[in-house]
Amino acid sequence: MKILITGGAGFIGSNYVHYVRENHPDYQIVVVDKLNQQGNKENLREVLGQIEFHQFDLVDEDKLRPIFESGIDYVVHFAAETNVDRSIEDPDSFVNSNVLATNVLLRLSRDYKIKRFHHVSTDEVFGSLELGSKNKFNEQTPYAPRSPYSASKAGSDHLVRSYFHTYGLNVTISNCSNNYGPYQVPENIVPVFALMAFNDKPLTIYGDGKSVRDYLYVLDHCRAIDLILHEGKTGETYCIGGGEEKNGIEIADTILEITNKPQSLKTFVTDRPGHDRRYAIDYSKLATELGYEPSVTFEEGIRQTVEWYKNNPTWWQPYMEKFYVPKFMQNTKQEDKR
């Protein structure tokens, strides 16, 4: 089998490349990544000699077509602009990468009759849940995106479905909750908090810090994607969650405890526009149909993640000099000690 993994030098994509290399050693792996803020070829250093790697933007059809002509069986589409804060400041690049590029990839997948196209998406397309409610997102939840990022991912989801209904392309879609783990760039809460704690710098928490996310260890996500790719039903969507709902304060407290740093490092900042209050995933369909269950608790996964960053300073140190800090995060207030 020959598998094309788009965005394979990014956080989740590179973890999936390593997963496939370990669990399907007979597969030929082709990676395409334009190496934007999330992409880092260093993530694939250990396997570069065993895979085929290309650096270009997926909208460049002239470069993408020869890869399909070489004979692709599966496509797993991770490539996307993913940071909500940057989507607020630069929505155009998100539409280009997440919608237009996905259409090029789908059209070539249709033309070259690939065996399966799996599209990796997010729970953010569903909007927001109320704090304290028992509701969770599932495969029947109506779409209600609230940021340029989530709107662009919603658009790509609909495109994928349209290729199934219109052209009969063999597709599956997964909508995941917040990932964390090795190779995650410090634009996201877990690596940012870990690196800030290592360096005795403030852990900045949006608003009141009570917005909740469902946290999913990236290796569990990779395992779920692989199950869907090989065993999922064509045309179906599967929600992938970790079953671990945590807010920003809890994330900070856990990381400060693991790193043995003082609680005084917590600092609250002005909330970002359109900040969703709660995401939670009901992954019962995936559990019932394909036997998926998370393999680690949140505490175990966070400890493993913090340990990875502790043991790989040469990987994350270059990022310390180019942190992305949104303009609306500049107004900060110290933690209320009451």
- pLDDT the model gives residue 274: 67
The fold of 189-212+246-279+297-334 is UDP-galactose 4-epimerase; domain 1 (3.90.25)
What are the residues whose beta carbons fall under 8 Å from the beta carbon of 275, sequence distance 6 or more? 206, 207, 211
Q: Which entry of 81, 123, 226, 244 is annotated as an active-site residue? A: 123
Residue in 33, 57, 81, 124 annotated catalytic: 124
Strands 332-334 and 266-269, bridge-based pairing: antiparallel
Q: Is 178 helix (H, G, I), strand (E, B) or coil?
A: strand
Residue 132's pLDDT band (cuts 50, 70, 90): confident
How is 85-151 classified by DSSP, letter by letter? HHHHH-HHHHHIIIIIHHHHHHHHHHHTT-SEEEEEEEGGGG----TT----B-TTPPP---SHHHH
One DSSP character per residue, 229-258 reads: HHHSPTT-EEEE--S-EEEHHHHHHHHHHH
Beta bridge partners of 175: 121, 239
The pLDDT tens digits for 66-116 are 999 999 999 999 999 887 778 888 888 888 889 999 999 999 999 999 999
Predicted pLDDT of residue 239: 98
What is the domain partition of the chain in residue ranges? 2-180+215-240, 189-212+246-279+297-334
pLDDT of residue 86: 83
**Active site (annotated) includes residue 238:** no
Instruction: Please give the Cα distance from 62 to 58 (Å, whole number).
Output: 10
Residue 16 a catalytic site member:
no
Out of 16, 74, 149, 238, pick the active-site residue. 149
Task: Give how far Cα 67 sits from Cα of 36, 164, 165, 222, 334, Å.
Answer: 21, 22, 25, 23, 52
Q: Is 149 a catalytic residue?
A: yes
Judged on CB neighbours under 10 Å (0-12, 13-18, 19+), 287 is middle
Contact 26, 61 (CB under 8 A): no
Local confidence band at 325 (pLDDT 50, 70, 90 cut-offs): very low
Q: Do domains 2-180+215-240 and 189-212+246-279+297-334 have the same CATH topology?
A: no
The mean per-residue pLDDT over the stretch 10-39 comes to 95
Bridge partners, 267 (sequence order) = 204, 334
Q: Tell me the average pLDDT of the chain.
A: 91
CATH of 2-180+215-240, one of 3.40.50.1100, 3.40.50.300, 3.40.50.720, 3.40.50.970: 3.40.50.720
Of 71-80, 296-305, 328-337, the least confident: 328-337
pLDDT in tens, 255-291: 999 999 999 999 998 877 767 788 899 999 999 999 9
The CA distance from 144 to 157, in Å, is: 13
